[in-house]
Chains A and B, each alone.
Chain A
């Protein structure tokens, strides 16, 4: 069995012994399937396992933590989408919010149930701490984001603080959990946590940039969400151009009638001419270099680092 099949089997077993009704299990399975289309098959579990194996652990020792991470990330995605009223095409956005919240809670509990099967008590406690801290940080970051939605602008520093808590927190935790289950020393766990944090920041910068120009499916610009391109532009633009950006954002929020090809072109021009692409690219490059430096400084054999290196190649 390959890694995917092992993870799938473990999740199936967890659902079977959960006592949940067939209907609920069926919906959770279909939601897991939809998530695969977005994030890749068991991406979070795989990141956890890659780190576990990198630190000398095995598929078996990392499996429960990997499944917990996968389920936790799915629950977080669902709750995030409901709170942000985002990604309307996903199945959890097509059912009443009360049902989606209920099932997200169920998935979150399943995540903890997966953890409870870790036999090594120290590992269990350490992984639980990481997961709890991640959840608290993500809630805190999300709440800051709500507050920022009402502000005209935020600083670049504030933007990065939030994405560290949200996207960075998830990837950092996946790596930390993998390292803990690989029985790594605390120093190594922390180093891999930093590596994971950096991966999450890179991912968020990329997503922010793509979503900013993807008016049809994403609501970031429409809602004036403080994504990196938006925060950067409001920081560097002079008053007239900043007003132009706000005007375009406001037209986009009215709908496609007001935000046609002409306005789209104006936005694209503003983005390109004012260095948005360059800025996102520079910050992305810097984090990529930082991730490589962290890996270089990690005292594990090169061969075991290979899969981690591939993540930032």
Chain B
């Protein structure tokens, strides 16, 4: 998992959410990013606009011990 590359791509997308169709191919052309990483990014950005509350709900504890 390349945490830095993911961070840079996520940051760019967060700043320009409507330009994902341009940003992602451009990013892929000069930085290494796996399909698995892209899938997760696409999944997160394809959801409705994320608020901290929405994230909190999605990151709900999966079990009691969390």
Contacts and interface: CB of A to CB of B under 8 A. Distances in A.
A210 interface: yes
A136 to B, nearest CB: 23
B30 interface: no
Interface stretch (A108-116, A145-153, A155-163, A246-254): A155-163
Contacts of A275: 10-11, 13-15
B63 A311 contact: yes
B14 A43 contact: no
A281 B58 CA distance: 8
Interface residues of A, number: 44
A268 B52 contact: yes
Given A209-B55, A283-B6, A278 B44 contact: yes
Contact of B41 (A232, A236, A282): A282
A289 B13 contact: no
B9 to A, nearest CB: 9
Say which size band chain B's interface belongs to. 20 to 34
A203 interface: yes
Contact of A277 (B7, B8, B52, B63): B52
Contact of B7 (A43, A209, A236, A271): A236
B14 A286 contact: no
A2 interface: no
B21 interface: no
Contact of A206 (B15, B37, B66): B66
| SS of A interface (majority) | helix
A279 B3 CA distance: 10
A277 B66 contact: no
Interface string A258-274: 00000000001001111
B23 interface: no
B51 interface: yes
Nearest to B65: A43
A274 B13 CA distance: 9
A211 to B, nearest CB: 12
Contact of A281 (B3, B59, B63): B59
A9 to B, nearest CB: 19
A264 B6 CA distance: 27
B36 A43 contact: no
Contacts of A281: 44, 50, 55, 58-59
A282 B40 contact: yes
A255 interface: no
Given A279-B10, A280-B55, A286 B37 contact: yes
A283 B36 CA distance: 11
Given A235-B4, A282-B6, A274 B65 contact: no
B29 interface: no
A270 to B, nearest CB: 12
Of listed A40, A41, A213, residue having the most chain B CB within 10 A: A40
Contact of A278 (B4, B14, B56, B62): B14
10 contacts: A39-B65, A43-B64, A235-B4, A236-B8, A275-B11, A277-B50, A278-B50, A283-B6, A283-B40, A285-B44
Given A39-B65, A41-B64, 10 more contacts: A46-B64, A232-B7, A235-B7, A272-B52, A274-B11, A274-B15, A280-B59, A282-B6, A283-B40, A285-B43
What are the 3 tightest A-B residue pairs by CB atom distance, in nearest-first order?
A43-B65, A275-B14, A40-B64
